[in-house]
């Protein structure tokens, strides 16, 4: 028998989030979906002159009897902005629910910048005869976790190299200040993709299983942003270059810091587990676009950690644990280390293949 078509996601009230099935009537318009209870409450509050203190605020077309209430007029602009944002969230969640039912995979975006102070032309640096960005692209493809793998760059030299190995390129603005900004530019162009994963272009040793872990975070419909963590080594606790993260029971991040967190009042207890952060991020399209419009936050500026902007502004960040390690390449020494690791891995594969061939002959 053919599979039954996926059920359409329910509309929700833009204010109280009640599903359509639980209310008497849900009024929908081009701006919002509003249940009868919220409509009645809003009109009642405006008549009592209390609309300023409680949400939702009545729209301008809901007027009390008699003369126009100046409170309603003052509320109109604020209401229009609020319902527009609420409707976008509601519609976006419906799109994501349908995509989830159809097993739509996120897109991987590899931001690639030519200019680098410590390692110029870093994405094109050769490792095992291939440019670094090609190694990252191949890891993404090997994971089979993504619907598309895109390289986002503002440099034609990188774009040409990517096209040369058969990759897909999106040209972005030279004004992008960070990799997140570059990924957001791609997301703004692709409104049919519900989720995006920002894969660092300077981590050619990223394991495909780690990529599958972060892509799988969106199986939970409540996740709007995700990242990867790994167990923290004891000798890393005092190293500010290793970012630590404290997790809640639901695996959402409570805080990221370069400091040794959480503080251990009674040393030697070994609890709770400690984690190090890996700089790989995944977002819903709406969360990514909203984050890219926010200015740097005080905590972000203090710790120099971009993810704190998200936490400080109320975003939840789900953390997926991986045992696979990687490292970013920032210097010529890092490049030589990666070259040696790749050569060692290739030799190990060859040895395993030779052993398997010998076993097959006996």
Inform me whether the pLDDT recorded for 328 exceeds 60.
Answer: yes
Structure-model confidence comparison of residues 115 and 134, the more confident one: 134
**Residues 339-350 pLDDT 10s:** 888 777 655 656
Strands (E) in 234-344, as ranges, are: 244-247, 253-257, 275-284, 318-321
> What's residue 84's pLDDT?
63
All domains of the chain in start order, with CATH = 20-101 (no CATH), 107-330 (3.90.550.10)
> What's residue 52's pLDDT?
41
Residue range 206-224: average pLDDT?
Answer: 90
How many angstroms separate the CA atoms of 308 and 301, rounded?
A: 9
Residue range 233-240: average pLDDT?
Answer: 92
Residue range 253-279: average pLDDT?
Answer: 88
How many angstroms separate the CA atoms of 123 and 135, rounded?
A: 10
| Packing angle, helices 208-215 and 132-143, rounded to 10 | 60
Cβ–Cβ under 8 Å, residues 185 and 176: yes
- Report residue 181 as tokens: 């900004």
How many angstroms separate the CA atoms of 161 and 323, rounded?
A: 32
- Report residue 52 as tokens: 């300023």
> What's residue 330's pLDDT?
79
Structure-model confidence comparison of residues 257 and 61, the more confident one: 257
> What's residue 285's pLDDT?
92
- Report residue 214 as tokens: 């972060």
Q: Which residues of 182-196 are buried (b: 16+ CB within 10 A; e: fewer)?
A: bbbbbbeeeeebbbb
> What's residue 209's pLDDT?
93
**Residues 278-319 pLDDT 10s:** 989 999 999 999 999 898 899 999 999 999 999 999 999 999
Tell whether pTM > 0.85.
no
> What's residue 53's pLDDT?
37
How far, in Å, are 50, 95, 96, 266 from residue 194 at the CA level? Answer: 39, 7, 6, 45
SS3 content of the chain, % helix, strand, coil (to 5): 40, 15, 40
Q: Which residues of 83-99 are buried (b: 16+ CB within 10 A; e: fewer)?
A: beebbbbbebbebbbeb
What are φ and ψ of residue 15, in 5° steps?
-110, -55
Q: What pLDDT band is residue 60 in, cutting at 50, 70 and 90? A: very low
By the 10 Å C-beta count (0-12 exposed, 13-18 middle, 19+ buried), 210 is classed as: buried
Percent of the chain at pLDDT > 70 equals 71
> What's residue 272's pLDDT?
83
Residue range 192-203: average pLDDT?
Answer: 91
Residue (of 201, 163, 167) closest to 182 by Cα position: 201
Structure-model confidence comparison of residues 53 and 311, the more confident one: 311
**Residues 5-40 pLDDT 10s:** 445 566 777 667 778 777 777 766 555 567 777 766
**Residues 80-100 pLDDT 10s:** 566 666 666 666 676 677 666
Report the SS3 class of residue 252.
strand
């Amino acid at each position: 028998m053919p599979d039954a078509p996926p059920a359409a996601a329910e509309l929700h009230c833009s204010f109280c989030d009640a599903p359509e099935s639980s209310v008497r009537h849900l009024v929908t318009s081009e701006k919002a979906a509003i249940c009868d209870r919220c409509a009645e409450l809003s009109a009642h509050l405006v008549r009592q002159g209390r609309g300023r203190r409680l949400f939702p605020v009545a729209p301008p077309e809901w007027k009390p009897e008699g003369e126009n209430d100046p409170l309603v007029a003052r509320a109109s602009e604020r209401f229009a902005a609020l319902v527009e944002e609420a409707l976008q969230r509601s519609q976006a969640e419906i799109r994501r629910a349908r995509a989830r039912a159809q097993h739509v995979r996120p897109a991987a975006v590899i931001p690639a910048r030519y200019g680098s102070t410590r390692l110029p032309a870093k994405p094109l640096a050769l490792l095992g005869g291939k440019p670094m960005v090609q190694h990252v692209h191949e890891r993404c493809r090997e994971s089979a976790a993504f619907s598309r793998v895109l390289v986002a760059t503002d440099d034609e030299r990188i774009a040409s190299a990517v096209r040369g190995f058969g990759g897909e390129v999106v040209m972005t603005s030279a004004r992008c200040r960070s990799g997140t900004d570059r990924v957001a530019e791609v997301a703004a162009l692709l409104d049919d993709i519900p989720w995006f994963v920002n894969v660092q272009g300077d981590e050619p040793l990223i394991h495909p299983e780690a990529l599958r872990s972060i892509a799988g975070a969106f199986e939970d419909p409540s996740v709007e942003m995700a990242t990867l963590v790994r167990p923290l080594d004891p000798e890393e606790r005092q190293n500010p270059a290793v970012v630590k993260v404290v997790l809640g029971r639901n695996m959402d991040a409570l805080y990221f810091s370069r400091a040794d967190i959480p503080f251990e009042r009674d040393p030697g207890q070994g609890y709770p587990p400690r984690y190090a952060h890996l700089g790989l991020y995944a977002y819903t399209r709406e969360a990514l676009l909203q984050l890219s419009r926010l200015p740097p936050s005080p905590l972000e500026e203090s710790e120099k950690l971009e993810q704190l902007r998200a936490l400080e502004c109320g975003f939840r960040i789900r953390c997926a644990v991986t045992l696979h390690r990687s490292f970013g390449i920032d210097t010529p020494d890092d490049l030589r280390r990666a070259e040696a690791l790749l050569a060692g891995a290739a030799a190990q594969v060859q040895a395993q293949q030779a052993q398997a061939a010998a076993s097959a002959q006996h």
